[in-house]
């Protein structure tokens, strides 16, 4: 290979790295993702108007949870700095707590107290996880710490890390979709009250169901989905869901 050809290939490689790491592309994609989340939130919230009382309140809180999760995914995909991800994770934890607490309003006495306490515990655990940060895990996933690099090497590292994270995000989204589909197939399971999230193959179930039997069934169904590494359940029992 002659010297001219080597220089041409080297130039093309550098241009590809610069293009892959172009922050302007990420800014546009991030804004589009956030705008979509806001649009879907407004649509979901409008549909809640058909309900009334606490059911309407729960519907609106659920819409906020969905928006917060979508915004978190946008931050993780297109920003991915520790501070931004932690902030977005806390927003999700707060939104989920507000939803859980709203559902507790249908209860009374000791059952309500237990429900609120469980909601607080779940929120505290989620915020602690956010503070601990998932960013370090992302670095460990690729075996690289881009912050220790400079120039073209750092740009290539950032590009590889984002590509791997994007691939993982897509796989997790597919798993979440499949788990939800399998839950819906269960006729005796109130699947609409089960919230599903997936992080690197680990499926997390939350929400309220009428009995322990439904908790066990939801976990069992999730485990059968291809690609699921582990199932974590934060499902709560609410007899009023019958």
> Could you say which of 133, 154, 173 is where a domain stops?
133
Q: How far, in Å, CA of 82 to CA of 63, rounded? A: 26
Tally of domains in the chain: 2
pLDDT tens profile 127-148: 887 777 644 444 444 445 555 5
Question: Could you tell me if 106 and 38 lie in one domain?
Answer: yes
**Residue 150 — pLDDT band, cuts 50, 70, 90?**
low
Largest CA distance in the chain: 83
Q: Can you tell me which residue has the tokens 């869901």?
A: 241
Q: Is the overall model pTM greater than 0.85, yes or no? A: no
Write the burial class of residue 192 (CB in 10 Å: 0-12 exposed, 13-18 middle, 19+ buried).
exposed
pLDDT tens profile 77-108: 777 677 888 888 888 889 988 988 888 887 88
Q: Domain of 78? A: 1-133
Question: Could you tell me if 19 and 112 lie in one domain?
Answer: yes
Question: Could you tell me if 125 and 198 lie in one domain?
Answer: no
Question: Could you tell me if 117 and 5 lie in one domain?
Answer: yes
């Amino acid at each position: 290979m002659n010297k001219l050809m080597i220089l041409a290939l080297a130039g093309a490689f550098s241009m590809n790295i610069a293009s892959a790491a172009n922050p302007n592309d990420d800014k546009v994609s991030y804004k589009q993702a956030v705008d979509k989340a806001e649009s879907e939130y407004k649509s979901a919230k409008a549909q809640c108007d058909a309900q009334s009382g606490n059911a309407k309140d729960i519907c609106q809180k659920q819409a906020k949870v969905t928006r917060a999760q979508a915004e978190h995914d946008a931050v993780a995909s297109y920003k991915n700095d520790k501070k931004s991800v932690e902030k977005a994770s806390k927003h999700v934890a707060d939104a989920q707590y507000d939803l859980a607490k709203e559902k507790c309003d249908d209860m009374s006495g000791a059952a309500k107290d237990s429900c609120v306490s469980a909601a607080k515990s779940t929120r505290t655990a989620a915020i602690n996880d956010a503070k601990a940060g998932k960013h370090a895990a992302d670095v460990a996933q690729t075996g690289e710490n881009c912050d220790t690099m400079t120039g073209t090497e750092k740009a290539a590292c950032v590009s590889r890390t984002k590509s791997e994270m994007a691939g993982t995000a897509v796989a997790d989204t597919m798993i979440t979709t499949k788990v939800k589909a399998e839950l819906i197939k269960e006729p005796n399971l109130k699947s609409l009250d089960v919230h599903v999230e997936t992080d690197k193959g680990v499926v997390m179930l939350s929400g309220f169901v009428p009995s322990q039997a439904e908790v066990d069934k939801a976990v069992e169904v999730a485990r059968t989905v291809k690609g699921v590494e582990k199932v974590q359940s934060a499902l709560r029992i609410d007899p009023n869901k019958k």
